[in-house]
Amino acid sequence: MRLPTVLIGRYVPANSIVHKIDPRAKLLGMILLITSILIVPSLVFYIVPGAVVLLLILLSKTGFRIYLAGLKSLWFLIIFAVVVQFLSPQDGRKIIWFITDKAILSAVYILLRLLLIILLAENFSATTPPLMTARAIESLFSLLGARKLGHEIGMVMTIAMRFVPILALEADRILKAQISRGANFERGRFIDRLKALIVIIVPLLASALRKAEELATAMEARLYTGEPPRVKYRDIEWKAADTLYVLFTLCVLLFVLFSQNLFNGVL
């Protein structure tokens, strides 16, 4: 048994156009693209957000292998969502047993949505340092007059994202330690294998609580409060290219939003 690689929460440094985009622009663009993915009216129009996500992956120069590894780590969630859509009772023409054509179409919709959203989140995580993500959230909330709330949300999200790969490596270490002691996670019934995972979950939970306590102690020792004024080590500057990127993602959203009316009677 081998634990899969987790990409979400892991920054992959590279000299690419996507890495140089302002984190605030990338965050706004990701929100607009996710919205466009969720409101696609027809399967045909998934080509547009899908092509944009593929373009971002190519321009990020991080390689496809790490994205495939990230999808592999979430295969259970994807398959579970697809199976639920298959088995959900829906009206339509029956294809086999009680599975209808609408259920199959719904399963394809949820599959494409999950794949594109996961790939988009992985691209944002791989091209944006966690601290820059917190800065982006804080800056956007400050425009709404809620700078302190934005800083707290950004800090919580940053810590959570940083802990994802750390806990994945810790789980892999615990797994190898239990296998070296004679634990077997491959044989037996499915229920027995689930019960065997307790020897991984309990130490992992204890390790997570210990790391959280150490982090809280370190922040208190440095008198961290989150209250302004706070000094920034490096300022982020909004450029013209960032505006163009946000406008581009906005155009994708508007195209998807009005695509049904634009191409009504054509497709």
* Tens of pLDDT, residues 66-110: 787 777 767 777 788 777 777 776 666 666 666 677 777 788 888
Tell me phi and psi for residue 237, to 5 degrees: -120, 130
Give pLDDT, residue 2: 43
Dist. CA 85–CA 95, nearest whole Å = 14
What is Dmax (Cα atoms) for the chain? Answer: 66
Dist. CA 237–CA 29, nearest whole Å = 17
Give pLDDT, residue 51: 93
Residues with Cβ within 8 Å of 64's Cβ and at least 6 positions away in sequence, in order, are 57
Residue 93 contacts residue 101 (beta carbons within 8 Å): yes
Which of 49, 29, 44 minimizes the C-alpha distance to 115?
49
Dist. CA 3–CA 265, nearest whole Å = 49
- The owner of tokens 């809620």 is 146
Dist. CA 37–CA 58, nearest whole Å = 19
**Using 50, 70 and 90 to split pLDDT, how confident is the model at 35?**
very high
Residue 4 has pLDDT above 50, yes or no: no
Q: Give pTM, 2 decimals.
A: 0.74
Identify the H or E element spanning 95: strand 94-96
Residue 114 contacts residue 78 (beta carbons within 8 Å): yes
Q: Which of 62-71, 241-250, 251-260 has the highest mean pLDDT?
A: 241-250
